Amino acid sequence: MPGVCIVSGCSRGIGRAIAVRLAKEGYALGLLSRNEKAIGQLKEELETQGGKCISVPCDIRDEKSIIHAVQTVASQLGSPKGLVNVAGINIDGISMRCKKETMEALFATNTIGTMTMTRAVLPYMMKQRGGSIVSIGSIVGSGGRAGQSAYAATKAALVGYSRSIAKEMGRYQIRSNVVIPGFIDTDMTERSIKNKEEVIKRIALGRMGRVEDVAEAVAFLLSDKASYITGTTLSVDGGIEI
């Protein structure tokens, strides 16, 4: 498909790996994150490898910031044909102790932020009559996890939203899917699990996932190889749910 693709939350971890993978595919990338320094460094790294990209500071909790970022990408690189919604946060807490402020913070970033970003990009895709959106969910959203009820709710909501977008935008040849990572070896995962060995025992493939595993799934769903796939989820979890 390669054309212009926006990747939110790509300063580190899964988002960064996705940006690196898509650059190899030939996408012109709009790198978005609150961490201006990190995406600036990523931009320089990708450019030294022949990639075409720009880095734009963006806070997906702020609609004006999103609109500015998307407009900047469109004006400097061209209309986006791809969008990867990665930006998200995780705040642990059992449901009885989860404060309203925590719930609001999680939904503002993980759900409303993703919805607002998608809404900002859709007009460009509609005008081109084509595009692909991939959002990053979580196995916590599909299976639940003690101590992460609010986070689970935000990720579950993404699936319903993505499927609705697929129904609404199909007539414009715009596809929308969700990649659902399992336990991936990132800083966020490291902070959220107490016993890595016990987690690995539950995984059929016997290892933690790599960020590159998720990046490959995203690259596939964005590509024309997945041109008849929309409104679905793709689990990248090593078989932990079987």
Give helix 13-25 / helix 36-48 axis angle, nearest 10°: 30
Compute the CA torsion angle 99, 101, 102, 105 (nearest 10 deg).
160
Q: In terms of DSSP bridges, do strands 233-236 and 174-181 run parallel, antiparallel, or are they unpaired?
A: parallel
Of 82-86, 88-92, 136-140, minimum mean pLDDT range = 88-92
pLDDT tens per residue across span 18-43: 999 999 999 999 999 999 999 999 99
Q: In terms of DSSP bridges, do strands 52-57 and 80-85 run parallel, antiparallel, or are they unpaired?
A: unpaired
Domains of the chain: 4-236 (3.40.50.720)
Give the residue with greater pLDDT, 202 vs 53: 53
Cα 137 from Cα 157, distance rounded (Å):
9
pLDDT number for residue 147: 58
**Could you tell me the pLDDT band of residue 150, with boundaries at 50, 70 and 90?**
confident
Tokens of 20: 């690196």
151 among known catalytic residues: yes
The predicted model gives 55-71 an average pLDDT of 98
Check pLDDT > 90 for residue 237: yes
Give the residue with greater pLDDT, 2 vs 70: 70
The predicted model gives 133-142 an average pLDDT of 90
The predicted model gives 81-103 an average pLDDT of 84
pLDDT tens per residue across span 179-192: 999 999 887 777 76
Check pLDDT > 90 for residue 97: no
DSSP class per residue in 163-177: HHHHHHHGGGTEEEE
Closest CA to 7 of 37, 42, 31: 31
β-sheet with 52-57: strand ranges across: 52-57, 28-33, 4-8, 80-85, 131-136, 174-181, 233-236
17: which DSSP letter? Answer: H
The predicted model gives 95-118 an average pLDDT of 89
The predicted model gives 3-14 an average pLDDT of 97
Q: How much is the pTM?
A: 0.94
Active-site option among 151, 161, 172, 228: 151
Of 42-46, 186-190, 217-221, minimum mean pLDDT range = 186-190
The predicted model gives 55-59 an average pLDDT of 98
Cα 157 from Cα 19, distance rounded (Å):
24
The predicted model gives 204-210 an average pLDDT of 94
Give helix 114-128 / helix 63-77 axis angle, nearest 10°: 30
pLDDT number for residue 196: 81
